[in-house]
Structure 1
Amino acid sequence: MAETKEGAAASSAVAGEGATAIRRYESLVTIRTKAINGKGAWYWAYLEPLLATDDSGAPRAAKIRCSLCDAVFSASNPSRTASEHLKRGSCPNFSSSSPQPISSAPPLHSPSRKRTQKLLAAATVSASASPSPLLLPCVLHQQQQQQKPHVALSGGKDDFGALAMLEDCVKRLKSPSTVPVQALPKPQADSALALFSDWLLESCGRVAPSSLSHPKLRDFFSQVGLPPPVSPRRLLGPTLDSRYRAAAADSEAKLRDAHFFQLASAGWKDRGFVNVAANLPNGTSVFVRAIAATAPVPPDYAQELLWDAVSSASVGIAERCVGIVSDRYKSKALRNLEARNQWMVNLSCQVQGLSSLVKDFVRELPIFETVATNCLKVANFFNSNSQARTIFHKYQLREFDHARLLRAPTHLGDTVRNLGPVYSMLEDIVQSMNPLQMSVLDEDYKVVRSEESQAKELGEMVQDVRFWNELEAVWSLLKLVKDTAREVEAERPLAGQCLPLWNELRSKVKGWCARFGMEVGPAEKVVERRFKKNYHPAWSAAYILDPFYLVKDASGKYLPPFKMLSPEQDKDVDRLITRLVSREEAHIVLMELMKWRSEGLDPLYAKAVQFKEPDPATGKMRIANPQSSRLVWETCLSELKLLRKVAVRLIFLHATALCGLKPDPPVLRWVGDHRRSRTALDRAQKMVFVAAHAKLERRDFSAEEKDAELFGEGEEDAMDEPPVDPPSL
């Protein structure tokens, strides 16, 4: 009796579950039917309601089936099922990035009341049977699948993407969008497009003009209410011409307003463009021209180009051009121009001079060749031997969290010509000191020693303190000169700062010799030879005439530092100053120079000129007013008429060319690919002019450094950045 009651209760529970499942199934069918009519979620196009039955055919639970892959899921949360199965890529056949229109789903008919009653009756009859875990599709779903005609699509059984796009287009035609993007007013739109075009041209090839036709860029413009950007042909045609005319007119106006200027020329060593700019007395610079140089330029032709630039920039009065500063490659042309025009002072770029000093050290000091040869052996062995490389990479990973090969030239040959690759190799080995030393001490390296005869020799070399001391010495000297060159390039010292610059460099080289036990004589000889090649009498004259370098004597006067000059440099001051005036005025200017030498400048003004304050960007002490030296000569020393005229021209001369105006690689490639096309060269020259003019206006020459910082932002990789100081051994 008890068993009968328990069976009846179980039957009643099973019947209740069946009824609940049928009601849930009917609810899902209703929801999907509404979705088909456009009043439901997108995912019902792919999900179909099912009734799970047991062995006897009685309904047990409502389920959801994916029509794409036939996977069955619980019906408790259809939206979550759609997100996890369809959107997150669990379904292998769901490849469309946008949901298929719900109207593409086959119509479903809700089960009739009689069919529902039959299913309930079946659930009651089969309640006494043992439930089965198997889930079978309901009879209704099977009937619908049999009745539904099969749609054959030419692209494959799952090719629903094109059909969805077709129906989407039909829907757009039936009910076009009624909320268009509001266009900007025409003046505002024209201004925005002009700024965009300026940015493209000033990028100087970093952004390709052909990218204007990119569909996503055009979609972006339409989304923000702008008309499409100008076409690439218009950008490199009328737009470039207009922007070039505006930039050229601005440069010419500034040149006309200046009483005098100095030309700065760079790029003679590189094939591509020679940039010519003008340094003005107020400390600013304007771009003059870009000269296409598709082949090495002979000195005579360079002289013609430079003189043509002087003539056009000075507007008929060549004496307005005080002189030229250029790289040493064209020093012969500079000397010839100076000899022909006695008012000109033509200087060699100090960045180029310091770069040549590095090559002098490599060529003259034997330690460089020894260290380069040993490092090449180490780099080639650990790069080419698989076992040694595996060991080395293991310790690289521990030290730097990543592994890579050591940079090395294919062969040394002429070390001076291969200086760039050699420097990179030394940098990598200096930074990889710990991984290399740990590698040769590893147990697995003993196997390498037994198989490779060179492994033992290199292992002993890497463990030898002398190898690392010599490497540190070479690396320290190269880094010392290169850091000085980078600082000179960034700060652009004037001619009067050259003597103190080289004196400081001599002191640093002596300190390097003392630190590493090197002979002072050979290193000093290299420095002196390079100093004499770069030296110009204008260095001494500007140093003497610049009030910033006045020295206070025992009587309290501020006098020029003639005591700091050698006897020959003292004579250079007299010779240069008399050359810059006429023969009739030579004796007068020498008398004024003697007065300047004995009386100097009023202490109050001298202190004002020499006043320094910390630079907010770097924290270093800088001159508060860089123009004060020139202003003192123009206002406070009016009695020295001839010497004043010479001084204001000499003390403002720059000792470095504008190295930051080098065109970007894309423009250089265009010139190389279309060097025979006059139109292409003309457009490239105009684009270089526009970009250089904008850089000088913004005083921004560090685009490459900023890009490098952005790419390395957040990195803590010691191998990607050179160390501040060489490692202590």
Structure 2
Amino acid sequence: MADSDDATARAVHRRYEGLLMVRTKALKGKGAWYWSHLEPLLLKNSDTGFPKAVKLRCSLCDAVFSASNPSRTASEHLKRGTCPNFNSLSKTPFIPSPVSTSPVSCKRPADDTCGGGGGGGDSFYDISPLTVVDPSGVYGGSFSSFLPQHQNHPQQPVLVLSGGKEDLGALAMLENSVKRLRTPRTSPGVSLNKAQIDSALDFLTDWVFESSGSVSISSLEHPKFKAFLTQVGLPSISSRDFARFRLNSKYQMAKADVHLKITDTMFFQIASNGWKTHNQEHKTMIHMTLNLPNGTSLYRKTLFLSSSVPCSFAEEVLWDTVSEICGSTTEKCVGIVADKFKGKTLKNLEDQHPWLVNLPCQFQAFNDLVTDFITNLPLFKKVTQNCKRVAEFFNFESNIRKIFHRYQLQECGYTRLISMGTPETEEIEAMTLFQMVDDILESAPAMQLARLDEAYKTTSMEEHSIARDVSNLIGDSTFWNEVEAVHCLIKLMKNMAEEIETERPLVGQCLPLWEELREKVKDWCKKFKISEESMENIVSRRFMKNYHPAWAAAFVLDPLYLTRDNTGKYLPPFKRLTTEQEKDVDRLITRLVATEEAHIVLMELMKWRTEGLDEVYARAVQMKEKDPITGKLRTANPQSSRLVWETYLTEFKSLRKVAVRLIFLHASSCGFKSNANFERMMCSYGSCSRAVAEGVKKLVFISARSKLEKRNFCNDDDKNDDDIELFGAVNSDDDLPSEADRSSSL
């Protein structure tokens, strides 16, 4: 009952806010005339305090009416003379009304904010007639006593307002309207000083250049946009000025800022994504960014490749990038993270330059794991085949499709075909499979109703055996359990991959991440009664393909993962490593220091293993707080792990140099993500003139740098979905009353 009352109160309050919005627009000259005399009232329940009703009060006579139909209230109460005060506004006599012409109706200008009335083409002010009379004429000499005497022209016709004193305001409005019609419309008088104008244009420049091509520079020449600038007091701007001087200025500023940050940092990691392509003929872009120890990322460059490239080419490009940035001090680059595992590219660079730690991208690893399930798990093959049969039957059998769409509209509120892979091929991608099983699960009620339809049964009996087979399939609970199992597993992997893309985990988090995955997969196996052994084999194979010794080393060196033992010490979690992983830690640490320091760093590692970190510092590093946006617990100071090694653990002279370089490394190459407009710009890069190519390069650099600086890793194309949701929200029936729509359209 309380929920019902609360819902009713919210609906009443929405109605009240909608009426207030309409009245506010009307008072500004953008709504119906009668809102200047009607005022919304919100009535509350005296017991609960909840809103219970909305009423309209006449501001002229204080009468209260229902708010269900304001236009009808205005017609009956105001126009028909029920309100005495409304009539007196325009009918107070001053002098006897002379014989005159018919009343004049003057249409109100759209931008007129005076008075209390209409705004659109159908709204009028009723202005009493104006009559020019001779004082000695119709009313005789007695009338002349009411008029001013003109000594020079005693017989000159005198202007008489037949409606009385109240017509003076209407006359003034008419004169203003005539002046507006005779005088061209000018700026509303906004006056900005030079500093304000420069600041406004600078913000506009940033928005255009940082939009990744979503906002065209040529659109600045649009007449409507120029009119907008004039209205707000800004000078007209030239797209050529934006494309030349402003672009060059912003590019030089961005480039200088990036160069300064690279110069100031002690070391960095290169992140490179785009190498992993499934289609050898597919054109792709390689984005390169730099990860700094303080957690920020810098954009470096984007390469456009028209076809798949060999591993040796990728190796050359990556090392050339290191040389371009570092010059002779290549040790400043301490590692690379990339999304291409095929071949020995990253391993070769490590062998040639032993101080490097080159990591595979975990986002790509989790996506590849779904492909492993599709390829190696019998359940996925079975579900893929069955779902394709069901999708083809309901999509391409015309009679069945009509029946299915009728029930789909009834149950889901829409009609559409079921997503599926290319019918001619047996191969199916992970996201295509997920969308297909998701559509089938969502359309399950419609399928069941269609299966029970008489026309469907007739088709099943008369047509080929496929109809009967599909009917039996969707009537079998085993089929639906298997579809749900596949859907849940892909959704699990998809959610974890999206979290990796958003959170961009560090290398020390890789082992806990895979442990979390194994636990979730085990729970999935128990829920759907799937063999854990087969699933563990698939997960373990993918784990070994992606495993790097730096995972284990960073895990035990990062104070974030220290555990408290029985004595109260905070010690590194060596117990969670396998014997082989412990050996990997020793081998990696000795590789990352000079040969003469190898035995020293191993001794310091043993001391770290037995003594750990002071309790106060350990608790400070591991302190967490709730994220205000997601509600998840996060590390209060993400940089504290590195800062503890740099400032407090000074007794570990060799080990601390390894630790500070390891624990900041990112484990995913996700950084800058391009949109369709950005890709079109890059595609035109190689086929245009040198000047155009140079401009595109600068625009790309500014846009990408801005995205990384604001940690905006999403695709701008996804914002279309936000617009769709916004349209749905503002156009829902409960947001604004129907009267608001009618009034605002007048």
Q: Taking structure 2 as the reference length, what is the TM-score of the superposition?
A: 0.71
Q: Secondary structure at the match of 2:303?
A: strand
The within-5 A match list for 1:537-548 is: 537-548=549-560
User: Which of 267, 271, 291 lines up with 2:274 in the alignment?
Assistant: 267
User: Which of 368, 373, 394 lines up with 2:380 in the alignment?
Assistant: 368
Cα deviation, 1:658-711, whole Å, max 9, x if unaligned, reads 34x122212312333453224444333322211111112222223444442332
Q: Is the 8 A contact 1:252 1:313 kept in 2?
A: no
| CA spacing shift, 1:658–1:313, aligned 2, 3 Å | farther
Q: Is the 8 A contact 1:292 1:685 kept in 2?
A: no
- Match in the other structure for 1:340: 352
| CA spacing shift, 1:403–1:28, aligned 2, 3 Å | farther
Cα deviation, 1:74-125, whole Å, max 9, x if unaligned, reads xxxxx99x98xx859xxxxxxxxxx9xxxxxxxxxx9xxxxxxxxxxxxxxx
- Match in the other structure for 2:226: 218
Q: Secondary structure at the match of 2:357?
A: coil
- 1:259 partner letter: M
- Match in the other structure for 2:80: none
Q: CA deviation at 1:563?
A: 1.4
Q: CA deviation at 1:31?
A: 4.5
The within-5 A match list for 1:439-588 is: 439-453=450-464, 454-588=466-600
**Rounded Cα–Cα distance in structure 1 between residues aligned with 2:585 and 2:616:** 26
**Rounded Cα–Cα distance in structure 2 between residues aligned with 1:513 and 1:406:** 27
Say what the alpha-carbon RMSD is for the aligned residues: 2.9
Matched, 1:193 2:201: yes
Q: Is the 8 A contact 2:676 2:717 kept in 1?
A: no
**Rounded Cα–Cα distance in structure 1 between residues aligned with 2:265 and 2:643:** 15
Q: Is the 8 A contact 2:363 2:670 kept in 1?
A: no
Q: Secondary structure at the match of 1:235?
A: helix
Q: Is the 8 A contact 2:187 2:230 kept in 1?
A: no
The within-5 A match list for 1:278-677 is: 278-329=290-341, 332-411=344-423, 413-416=425-428, 418-453=429-464, 454-659=466-671, 661-673=672-684, 675-677=686-688
Q: Is the 8 A contact 1:406 1:428 kept in 2?
A: yes
- Match in the other structure for 1:242: 249
User: Which of 721, 725, 733 lines up with 1:708 in the alignment?
Assistant: 721
Q: Is the 8 A contact 1:181 1:222 kept in 2?
A: no
Unaligned runs of at least 5 residues, structure 1: 1-25, 44-78, 89-98, 100-109, 111-170, 717-729
What percentage of aligned pairs have identical amino acids?
49
- 2:358 partner letter: N
- 2:432 partner letter: P
| CA spacing shift, 1:230–1:283, aligned 2, 3 Å | same
- 1:237 partner letter: R
- 1:676 partner letter: S
Q: CA deviation at 1:412?
A: 5.9
Q: CA deviation at 1:183?
A: 5.0
- 1:195 partner letter: F
**Rounded Cα–Cα distance in structure 2 between residues aligned with 1:384 and 1:198:** 50
Matched, 1:695 2:707: yes
- 1:579 partner letter: R
Q: Is the 8 A contact 2:673 2:713 kept in 1?
A: no
The within-5 A match list for 1:128-277 is: 175-176=183-184, 181-182=189-190, 184-231=192-239, 233-269=240-276, 271-277=283-289
| CA spacing shift, 1:253–1:303, aligned 2, 3 Å | same
Q: Secondary structure at the match of 1:346?
A: strand
**Rounded Cα–Cα distance in structure 2 between residues aligned with 1:560 and 1:423:** 40
Cα deviation, 1:205-254, whole Å, max 9, x if unaligned, reads 112222222221111111111112331x4333332222111111111111
**Rounded Cα–Cα distance in structure 2 between residues aligned with 1:681 and 1:306:** 23
Q: CA deviation at 1:340?
A: 1.0
Q: CA deviation at 1:255?
A: 1.2
| CA spacing shift, 1:236–1:451, aligned 2, 3 Å | farther
Q: Is the 8 A contact 1:496 1:542 kept in 2?
A: yes
Paired positions, count: 566
- 1:535 partner letter: Y
Q: CA deviation at 1:181?
A: 4.6
| CA spacing shift, 1:412–1:564, aligned 2, 3 Å | farther
| CA spacing shift, 1:652–1:386, aligned 2, 3 Å | same
Unaligned runs of at least 5 residues, structure 2: 1-97, 110-116, 125-131, 133-178, 278-282, 730-746
| CA spacing shift, 1:321–1:178, aligned 2, 3 Å | closer
Mean CA deviation greater in 484-493 or 234-243? 234-243
Q: CA deviation at 1:298?
A: 2.9
Q: Is the 8 A contact 2:559 2:618 kept in 1?
A: yes
Mean CA deviation greater in 362-371 or 183-192? 183-192
Q: Is the 8 A contact 1:369 1:415 kept in 2?
A: no
| CA spacing shift, 1:440–1:634, aligned 2, 3 Å | same
Q: Secondary structure at the match of 1:277?
A: strand
Q: CA deviation at 1:182?
A: 4.4
Larger Rg: 1
Q: Secondary structure at the match of 2:286?
A: strand
Cα deviation, 1:480-536, whole Å, max 9, x if unaligned, reads 111111111111111111011111111211221222121122211111111011000
Q: Is the 8 A contact 1:261 1:280 kept in 2?
A: yes
Cα deviation, 1:599-622, whole Å, max 9, x if unaligned, reads 111222222222222222222222
**Rounded Cα–Cα distance in structure 1 between residues aligned with 2:107 and 2:494:** 66
Q: Is the 8 A contact 1:362 1:415 kept in 2?
A: no
Q: Is the 8 A contact 2:213 2:681 kept in 1?
A: no
Cα deviation, 1:624-646, whole Å, max 9, x if unaligned, reads 22111112112221111000110
| CA spacing shift, 1:294–1:339, aligned 2, 3 Å | same
| CA spacing shift, 1:273–1:229, aligned 2, 3 Å | farther
**Rounded Cα–Cα distance in structure 1 between residues aligned with 2:395 and 2:252:** 54
**Rounded Cα–Cα distance in structure 2 between residues aligned with 1:644 and 1:414:** 53
Q: Is the 8 A contact 1:321 1:344 kept in 2?
A: yes
Q: Secondary structure at the match of 1:295?
A: coil
Q: Is the 8 A contact 1:302 1:330 kept in 2?
A: no
| CA spacing shift, 1:450–1:181, aligned 2, 3 Å | farther
- 2:273 partner letter: A
- 2:217 partner letter: P
| CA spacing shift, 1:585–1:41, aligned 2, 3 Å | closer
**Rounded Cα–Cα distance in structure 2 between residues aligned with 1:326 and 1:398:** 48
**Rounded Cα–Cα distance in structure 2 between residues aligned with 1:212 and 1:594:** 65
| CA spacing shift, 1:529–1:285, aligned 2, 3 Å | same
**Rounded Cα–Cα distance in structure 1 between residues aligned with 2:491 and 2:100:** 75
Q: Secondary structure at the match of 1:712?
A: helix
| CA spacing shift, 1:588–1:439, aligned 2, 3 Å | same
Q: Secondary structure at the match of 2:658?
A: helix
